[in-house]
Structure 1
Amino acid sequence: MKEIKVPELAESITEGTIAEWLVKKGDQVEKGDPILELETDKVNVEVNADASGVIAELLKDEGEDVEVGDVIAQVDENGEGGGSEEETSSKNEEPESNGKEEKQESSGDEKKEDAAGKDSKEVIATPAARKRARELGIDLSEVSARDPLGRIRPEDVDVAAEGGKKQETTSSSKSSSEDKPKKQEKKKEEAKKTEFDKPVERVKMSRRRQTIAKRLVEAQQESAMLTTFNEVDMTNVMKLRSDRKESFQKKHDIKLGFMSFFTKAAVGALKEFSLLNAEIQGNEIIKKQFYDIGMAVSTDEGLVVPVVRDADRLDFAGIEKGIADLATKARNKELGLEDLQGGSFTITNGGIFGSMLSTPILNAPQVGILGLHNIEKRAKVMPDDTIEARPMMYIALSYDHRIVDGKEAVQFLRRIKEMIEDPYDLLLEG
């Protein structure tokens, strides 16, 4: 019997959640065939069979958390699947029974196993639940499932087993058995009072959402995070885009968006204020000599931050194509680990959802993140003291005050503002 274990996934990924089994007990598989989809904190990955044969047992359920090295299934390399090792062992031991009494006991056991097997086929239950039922001698047809789809899980079997024991111990006392329903009803009423008075829906957080929540809290607990703000007049960028959009798209087969301007501006500012392109490791500051810019992308499963590599070496078209490619892969759930690892600085654009102002949270271990917001016409006092309605955007920089001082943060954001308000220099540099 060959054990299938959770393989090494990536340096930073040590655990995941079984999203879906692609095979079932008794299926024939070849070495290298995908057998399950594993949800990690970054992407979903397929785990392949490392041996050919028949799936003899699935040892973990969908929705269960597993770690690298955990045994999740067994493959019968001789092609004789369909039964667990315990059943095979019991069958091999049957001929060794000699006494009449032993034969009768063996016969009785077989009848119980046959009955349990028959019942288990008539109900929907996870492999772990079936195994648990065999261990406890529980008839699956008498187990109530709490799963909305009617699937029996191991905890349902445990509840059934505990219920049976309670009934046995209380059957001798008439008064206790009469008081039990009243006590249970009282407990239910008390539980309801401590919960919600109106209908609610409980939904288990996905592995990715749990990790996002954990890391966001860690980022706030482990860094001295502050945010500084400024506003940018988008008049010149919008005029430049309007003048060049047709020729740019015709030449590069991609639209000229705002993100390429801000990416170019961020790279330029990072070169001047290098501590915002660094991270802390122990008592050392690691100043990165590359500019891999993370682009926060919202998906149905949560926020992901794919990375545009070597943004300082790309022109506007290269940046736009890189962002578009990553966004498409994110929406189609095709991002690989290589798309998400690393990154030296992050840009997040809440403006696409209509956000006017926000304080973005650091993408640890990075020490800086630039937040963009929606563009709205606001009154602006011009140099000649006249007032004009101009397209304005608030921008925010969250930074780790442990290594970045307020002066540097303010100057960094000021430099972003200057480059966006005079974008022609960016085009020349690009």
Structure 2
Amino acid sequence: MATEIIMPKLGLTMTEGTVYEWIKNEGDEVKKGDIVASINSEKLTADVDAPTDGILIKILVHEGEDAKCKDPIGYIGTAGENVGEEGTIAVKEAVVEAKDEESSEQPPQEVKQQLVTQKNNSNETGRIFITPLARKIATEKGFDYQQIKGTGGNGRVTRRDVENYVPITQTAKTESTAFAAGTGLTGMRQIIAQRMMSSLQNTAQVTLQLKADITNLMDFRKDLKQKVSQPLLDGQLSLTTLVTKATILALKDTPEMNAWYHDGKYEKVTDINIGMAVAVADGLVVPVVKAAGSMTLTELGRSLNTVIDDAREGTLDSSAYSSGTFTISNLGKSGVEYFTPVINQPEIGILGVGTLLKELTIADDGKIEQLVKLPLSLTFDHQIIDGAPAADFLAKIVSYLEDPYTLML
């Protein structure tokens, strides 16, 4: 019996994914664990492995098409095994899209018959593969659907193709207009755009900014490195690790910040799972260090190094990108002081870390001293957290950074 290849669920908010590329073709022999396809969702491109040995006998969801989480996108079986004809699969897809629009001009039975007739006769008549809903939308918009390139199976024009289509007469518009119309973005960049817009549209984001005086922390690091007899190779004393530790301690003091808000429901989370925004070649990913609240400084440094390195190499397991409760984004190497990080839903807060600053000040004895300051930017969802407790939370992070011995506990 054929085995389903399932669209994975990579995060709490993920409901569907897009098949970005099929690595294997129908008829190819695969081994359990072989990468058969890659998908786009949750700010990353993730690989889908073969669940068993066999032959890729059927691709259900073609490149560029979407599937709901846990739905099959293909089948692995034995040579010659039949899991359905193209027409049957096309009918299923047509009915699903027809249900998306209750005001469809045709009842379900007519929808089925029209698409089956199109698919069976297209090569002979030259008619265009297009779903009824896509045809309806194209008509309403006044588009010639014969000019629209289909990204569905067998080049079928889908609803998304129609919605993203820009007629030739509009190509002279500015680049910003083109992006507003939904063109020009593909792959991970498209997923990031969707996630960022969803976050901004569904949350009331406010950003607070504060500087931490980390002069003592920098001296403490230097002194500790000199006194420890063995080299510290796990990133225990890196600034990223120390800022993360301070954030964890502040989250323990402020458990209402360690939470999710999704579909109108607010949920405090017991575990502290820290997401770390990492720039990669195709965009941005957020790997998660899970159960970070129970780690020693050495364990935390080692875990941060591992997930960041693996994310950049593209070798991190897809499960490591889910279940984050709070995210940190560091732009210090870019020379940025303050910025406005965007909340990684369903989390309700994100900390932005800026570049180190050296400032001169006059001490109580009248002498000029040089201080090292670290700019911090906290974005929070004002639907859940008011300004005063958010400010207290940010102040706690600063307090821990300014008292470095507390980070060792």
Partner of 1:45 in structure 2?
47
Residue 384 of structure 2 aligns to a residue in which SS? Answer: coil
Partner of 1:331 in structure 2?
312
Q: CA deviation at 1:227?
A: 1.4
Any residues of structure 2 matched to 1:281-430 within 5 Å, and which?
285-384=266-365, 386-427=367-408, 429=409
Distance 2:261 2:365 in 1: 46
Residue 137 of structure 1 aligns to a residue in which SS? Answer: helix
Any residues of structure 2 matched to 1:130-209 within 5 Å, and which?
135-137=121-123, 153-154=155-156, 190-194=169-173, 203-206=184-187, 208-209=188-189
Distance 1:299 1:86 in 2: 38
Partner of 1:257 in structure 2?
238
**2:255 is the alignment partner of 1:274:** yes
1:243-284: CA deviation from partner (whole Å, max 9, x where unpaired)? 223565935432420122212222222232232223346776
The answer to whether the 8 A contact 1:6-1:66 is kept is no
Name which of 216, 221, 237 aligns with 2:201.
221
Distance 1:250 1:392 in 2: 29
- The one-letter code sitting in structure 1 at the alignment partner of 2:37 is L
**2:6 is the alignment partner of 1:6:** yes
1:54 and 1:268, CA in 2 relative to 1: closer, same or farther beyond 3 A? Answer: closer
Q: TM-score, normalised by structure 1?
A: 0.66
The answer to whether the 8 A contact 1:263-1:311 is kept is no
1:65-115: CA deviation from partner (whole Å, max 9, x where unpaired)? 3334656446673x3489x9589xxxxxxxxxxxxxxxxxxxxxxxxxxxx
State, as a whole percentage, how many aligned pairs show the same letter: 29
The answer to whether the 8 A contact 2:5-2:76 is kept is no
- The one-letter code sitting in structure 1 at the alignment partner of 2:292 is A
- The one-letter code sitting in structure 2 at the alignment partner of 1:46 is V
Residue 374 of structure 1 aligns to a residue in which SS? Answer: coil
Q: What value does the CA root-mean-square deviation take over the aligned residues?
A: 4.3
Is 2-11 or 354-363 further displaced after alignment? 2-11
- The one-letter code sitting in structure 1 at the alignment partner of 2:54 is S
Q: CA deviation at 1:205?
A: 1.9
1:242 and 1:192, CA in 2 relative to 1: closer, same or farther beyond 3 A? Answer: same
Partner of 2:64 in structure 1?
63
1:106-132: CA deviation from partner (whole Å, max 9, x where unpaired)? xxxxxxxxxxxxxxxxxxxxxxxxxx8
- The one-letter code sitting in structure 2 at the alignment partner of 1:6 is I
Distance 2:389 2:25 in 1: 58
Distance 1:224 1:19 in 2: 32
Any residues of structure 2 matched to 1:15-54 within 5 Å, and which?
15-29=16-30, 34-41=35-42, 42-48=44-50, 52-53=54-55
Distance 2:329 2:37 in 1: 33
Name which of 221, 229, 235 aligns with 1:241.
221
Distance 2:370 2:227 in 1: 28
Q: CA deviation at 1:339?
A: 1.4
Q: CA deviation at 1:44?
A: 0.7
Q: Please, which runs of 5 or more residues in structure 1 have no aligned partner?
A: 88-131, 156-186
Distance 2:262 2:295 in 1: 29
1:225-253: CA deviation from partner (whole Å, max 9, x where unpaired)? 21111112222122222222356593543
Q: TM-score, normalised by structure 2?
A: 0.69
Larger Rg: 1
Distance 1:75 1:295 in 2: 36
Partner of 1:115 in structure 2?
none
Distance 1:331 1:213 in 2: 20
The answer to whether the 8 A contact 1:233-1:392 is kept is yes
Distance 2:264 2:15 in 1: 26
Distance 2:241 2:270 in 1: 20
1:3 and 1:374, CA in 2 relative to 1: closer, same or farther beyond 3 A? Answer: same
Distance 1:388 1:63 in 2: 59
1:134 and 1:69, CA in 2 relative to 1: closer, same or farther beyond 3 A? Answer: farther
The answer to whether the 8 A contact 1:277-1:344 is kept is yes
- The one-letter code sitting in structure 2 at the alignment partner of 1:253 is L
Residue 362 of structure 1 aligns to a residue in which SS? Answer: coil
Alignment coverage as a number of residue pairs? 348
The answer to whether the 8 A contact 1:38-1:47 is kept is no
1:251 and 1:379, CA in 2 relative to 1: closer, same or farther beyond 3 A? Answer: closer
**2:190 is the alignment partner of 1:210:** yes
1:335-373: CA deviation from partner (whole Å, max 9, x where unpaired)? 223312222222221112221111222222222222110
Distance 2:260 2:72 in 1: 36
The answer to whether the 8 A contact 2:36-2:50 is kept is yes
- The one-letter code sitting in structure 1 at the alignment partner of 2:400 is M
1:138 and 1:239, CA in 2 relative to 1: closer, same or farther beyond 3 A? Answer: farther
- The one-letter code sitting in structure 2 at the alignment partner of 1:392 is K
1:7 and 1:358, CA in 2 relative to 1: closer, same or farther beyond 3 A? Answer: closer
- The one-letter code sitting in structure 2 at the alignment partner of 1:287 is K
Partner of 2:144 in structure 1?
none
Distance 1:72 1:283 in 2: 30
Residue 218 of structure 1 aligns to a residue in which SS? Answer: helix
1:380 and 1:219, CA in 2 relative to 1: closer, same or farther beyond 3 A? Answer: farther
Distance 2:276 2:224 in 1: 24
